[in-house]
């Protein structure tokens, strides 16, 4: 018989894409335990992502710099029956014990795995399946046999209004969102390639490009947009909710392997991803799990992204634009 849980906490305290790929765990647990409250434990800057998902009942933030006792108090206040560590961390495992959480689920392959009382024997380093599927293994450890591959984010209407106003004020109608940075999460296609890509996109009738990025990526985005009147640098202009809203309005989205490609997929925008082939960053593990997508990798099986031709990326974007215009 399945144990009855009143509240389950799902901990995913790394980056945006990782949080998006954890959302199927929430959807699956909600279907399996419909009366159970599901709490997300995430970093502060990803909180709006988790809060935008229908199966997340509440969000608690965690920062790497906080003391273990601070984290312990947060976890104790949740009065949770079980916690799933999708991204294992020693300090969080200790805090969960100190908080008295009875069921603690985590990887069997950490030196501190004895702190978990439900251990999953699976090496993610092999990267033979999607990160979302690896995450589901922890849900199965508490009896959830249902798998719901749902990552659909709700678009905040106020944020949508701000995104539309931003586009209108810059005389942008139809557009492709291009995200050249990755925050160090993966190998990057060159700025020169992104610049050439944007020039090719803006040759498509009536189509502009909005370059997206964080505030620290503004110089990179400016370099790519410079001199192209139909290419706009929006780096640092949006909150996470506003960024999600902007992506929902795009005709398509292009990026390296990075969190925003998962945000774009989560609002139904077609995506083109540029990925290396190595196991830690392979699209087999890190590509979006739903939606319309074209993933390009170096054809020689290497990790040298110079092998991904601008013409191939542009053709992929144009294919999506053609479908949208039909």
* Domain range summary for the chain, segments of one domain joined by +: 7-140, 157-325
CATH superfamily for 157-325 is Glycogen Phosphorylase B; (3.40.50.2000)
Q: Which of the four CATH numbers 3.40.50.720, 1.10.10.10, 3.40.50.2000, 3.40.1160.10 does domain 7-140 have? A: 3.40.50.2000
Predicted local distance difference test score (pLDDT) of residue 324: 59
Q: Are 262 and 183 in contact (CB under 8 A)?
A: no
Rg of the chain (C-alpha set)? 20
**Helix 240-249 and helix 259-266: axis angle, to 10°?**
60
Query: Pick from 173, 148, 186: which is nearest to 325 by CA?
Result: 173
Predicted local distance difference test score (pLDDT) of residue 279: 87
Predicted local distance difference test score (pLDDT) of residue 291: 86
Would you say the CATH fold of 157-325 matches that of 7-140?
yes
Beta strand segments in 70-143, E: 82-85, 103-107, 118-120
Q: State the 10-residue block means of pLDDT for the chain, 326 residues long.
A: 81 97 98 96 98 98 96 97 97 98 97 98 93 97 95 98 98 97 83 97 95 95 95 97 98 96 97 94 94 95 94 97 67
**Distance (Å, whole) CA 107 – CA 123:** 8
Beta-carbon count within 10 A of 77 CB: 10
Predicted local distance difference test score (pLDDT) of residue 183: 79
Predicted local distance difference test score (pLDDT) of residue 3: 65
Query: Pick from 177, 294, 149, 323: which is nearest to 247 by CA?
Result: 177
Predicted local distance difference test score (pLDDT) of residue 174: 96
């Amino acid at each position: 018989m399945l144990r009855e849980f009143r509240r389950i906490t799902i901990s995913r305290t790394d980056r945006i894409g990782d949080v998006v790929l954890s959302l199927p765990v929430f959807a699956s647990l909600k279907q399996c335990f419909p009366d159970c409250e599901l709490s997300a434990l995430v970093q502060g800057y990803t909180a709006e992502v988790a809060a935008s998902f229908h199966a997340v009942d509440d969000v608690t933030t965690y920062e790497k710099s906080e003391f273990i006792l601070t984290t312990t108090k947060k976890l104790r206040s949740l009065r949770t029956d079980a916690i799933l560590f999708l991204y294992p961390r020693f300090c969080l495992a200790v805090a969960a014990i100190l908080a008295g959480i009875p069921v603690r689920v985590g990887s069997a392959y950490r030196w501190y795995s004895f702190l978990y009382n439900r251990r999953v024997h699976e090496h993610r380093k092999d990267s033979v399946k999607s990160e979302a599927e690896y995450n589901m293994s922890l849900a199965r450890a508490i009896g959830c046999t249902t798998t719901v591959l749902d990552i659909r984010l709700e678009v905040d209407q106020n944020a949508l209004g701000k995104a539309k106003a931003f586009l209108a004020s810059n005389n942008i109608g139809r557009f492709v969102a291009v995200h050249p940075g990755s925050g160090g999460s993966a190998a990057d296609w060159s700025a020169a390639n992104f610049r050439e890509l944007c020039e090719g996109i803006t040759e498509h009738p009536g189509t502009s490009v909005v370059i997206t990025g964080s505030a620290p990526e503004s110089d990179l985005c400016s370099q790519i947009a410079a001199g192209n009147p139909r290419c706009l640098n929006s780096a640092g202009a949006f909150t996470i909710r506003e960024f999600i809203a902007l992506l929902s309005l795009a005709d398509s989205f292009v990026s390296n392997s990075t969190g925003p490609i998962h945000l774009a997929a989560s609002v139904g925008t077609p995506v083109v991803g540029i990925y290396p082939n190595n196991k830690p960053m392979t699209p087999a593990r890190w590509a979006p799990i739903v939606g319309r997508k074209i993933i390009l990798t170096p054809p020689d099986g290497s990790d040298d992204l110079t092998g991904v031709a601008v013409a191939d990326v542009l053709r992929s974007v144009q294919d999506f634009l053609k479908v949208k215009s039909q």
